Amino acid sequence: MSSLRLQRLPSAHPGIALAARVAAIVIALLLASIVLEISGAAPLELGAQVISATFGSTYGIEDLCLLLIPLLLTGLAVAVGQQIGAWNIGAEGQFYAGAFSATAIGLFVPGPPVVILPLMFIAGAAGGMIWILVPTLARAYAGVNELITTLLLNFVAALLVYYVSTGPWRDRVGMSNSSTPRLSAEIPEFWGLVHWGLPLGVLMAVGFALVLSYSKWGYEVRLSGSNPSAAKYAGIPVRRHIITVMLLSGMVAGIAGMFEVAGTVHRLQGGISNNFGYLGIMVAVLARNSCIGVIFSAALMALILNAGIILQTQGLTTSAVLAITGLILFLTAIGDELAHYRITRIKI
């Protein structure tokens, strides 16, 4: 005698996972369309506007790519930390720290762009690493949960950037009173308005994926994250790997801040992050902490955010846009989870 049982598998088939995600997005859009129709809006016209504004012109695609760059890198930062079981909730603060450090070089170190840009890159990476250093050491040597320590430092970094951009580093010549002067060194454009941060971000994601999957160090990191006790028993230096991985996570988030300030905004200002650090957490979760998957989940998130901006220009309120965005992400997460389940027959 046998019966049917719902069983959760440790991994989902790529095809089933993709189908589940697409189905979830379609269901979310249908539900949002029904609500919009009831409220008097025209969902089909709004959808056509989103598609036309996003993919109907080079400018729309460029805007989408500029959103993709910080989402890709902050998502990658969170995903890298998760390889060893560390939740880096502080990508937002590390983003600010990287932008702050890069701006300091751009404003106060003289020299040609070919010299200043590499220095800004190094400073951005170092800023992110320094900002996660205390939570890293607290986790490695005292067992302090990094969720709280990384999160609290976000507010410190945001306030620091706001202070310097409206105070000591404020642009005293231009019209803005809440940002620094424009930086003289800028990341060159790769395609249209899209700078070289995009291909570099993709290469970083691919590089991390290859190293974590095919190197001895990557194997030790993954084992330390999945089973620390077994890793210690096998002689793997778990503490050293925790420190290395968390510092790398902060470095990637800091580089995201450097790319934003030197490639997109070209000046430091309060709120420069636009919550990219927090959104990176959702990107990593949707990618199931896969470094390659981060590329695609970041693209999805960029598309959703870009659509939200367009919908606001069409008269939708911010609350409505946030509700639609949350619905899409919520159902997508459910679809990703359901993709792991199968109906199996067991003997009784």
Measured distance CA(135)–CA(143) in Å, rounded:
10
Measured distance CA(255)–CA(250) in Å, rounded:
9
CA distance to 72, 75, 115, per residue, from 118 (Å): 21, 23, 6
- Asked whether the beta carbons of 231 and 223 are under 8 A apart, the reply is yes
Do 328 and 305 fall within a single domain? no
* Residue of 101, 65, 119, 82 whose CA lies nearest to 208: 82
Do 196 and 340 fall within a single domain? no
- Asked whether the beta carbons of 124 and 254 are under 8 A apart, the reply is yes
Instruction: Write the CATH number for 166.
Output: 1.10.3470
CA distance to 16, 73, 126, 274, 290, per residue, from 209 (Å): 22, 13, 22, 27, 8
Measured distance CA(56)–CA(224) in Å, rounded:
47
Tell whether 54 is covered by a domain: no
pLDDT of residue 1: 57
Do 232 and 129 fall within a single domain? yes
pLDDT of residue 13: 72
Burial class of residue 216, CB neighbours in 10 A (0-12, 13-18, 19+): exposed
Tell whether 330 is covered by a domain: yes
Do 26 and 157 fall within a single domain? no
Do 256 and 296 fall within a single domain? yes
Tell whether 55 is covered by a domain: no
Do 191 and 218 fall within a single domain? yes
Residue with tokens 């999945």: 226
Tell whether 18 is covered by a domain: yes
Do 2 and 107 fall within a single domain? no
Do 172 and 288 fall within a single domain? yes
CA distance to 20, 110, 228, per residue, from 63 (Å): 28, 31, 43
pLDDT of residue 238: 93
pLDDT along the chain (348 residues), means of 10: 69 76 84 80 82 86 94 96 93 97 95 94 97 96 91 95 93 79 91 93 96 94 90 91 96 97 93 91 88 92 86 76 79 81 72
Which is it for strands 194-195 and 189-191: parallel, antiparallel or unpaired? Answer: antiparallel
Count structural domains, the chain: 2
Q: 177: which DSSP letter?
A: S
What domain range includes position 151?
A: 61-313
Tell whether 48 is covered by a domain: no
Measured distance CA(253)–CA(108) in Å, rounded:
23
Instruction: Output the pTM of the full model.
Output: 0.90
- Asked whether the beta carbons of 192 and 62 are under 8 A apart, the reply is yes
CA distance to 34, 90, 102, 189, 254, per residue, from 123 (Å): 49, 18, 5, 21, 9
Do 23 and 99 fall within a single domain? no
Residues 270, 274, 275, 277: is their CA dihedral positive or negative? negative
The Cα angle at residue 75 between residues 237 and 268, in degrees rounded to 5: 110
Measured distance CA(38)–CA(47) in Å, rounded:
16
Residue with tokens 């969720």: 147
Tell whether 51 is covered by a domain: no
Tell whether 209 is covered by a domain: yes
Do 121 and 189 fall within a single domain? yes
Tell whether 13 is covered by a domain: yes
Q: 68: which DSSP letter?
A: H
pLDDT of residue 2: 57
DSSP element (H, E) containing 194 = strand 194-195
For 89, residues 6+ apart whose C-beta sits below 8 A from its C-beta are: 146, 147, 150, 151, 154, 281
Do 96 and 187 fall within a single domain? yes
Phi-psi region of 181 (alpha: psi -120 to 50; beta: other; left: phi over 0): beta
Percent helix, strand and coil across the chain, each rounded to 5? 70, 5, 20
Tokens encoding 152: 């609290």
Residue 112 phi/psi, 5-degree rounding, is -75, 155
Do 145 and 8 fall within a single domain? no
* Residue of 239, 211, 238, 243 whose CA lies nearest to 224: 238
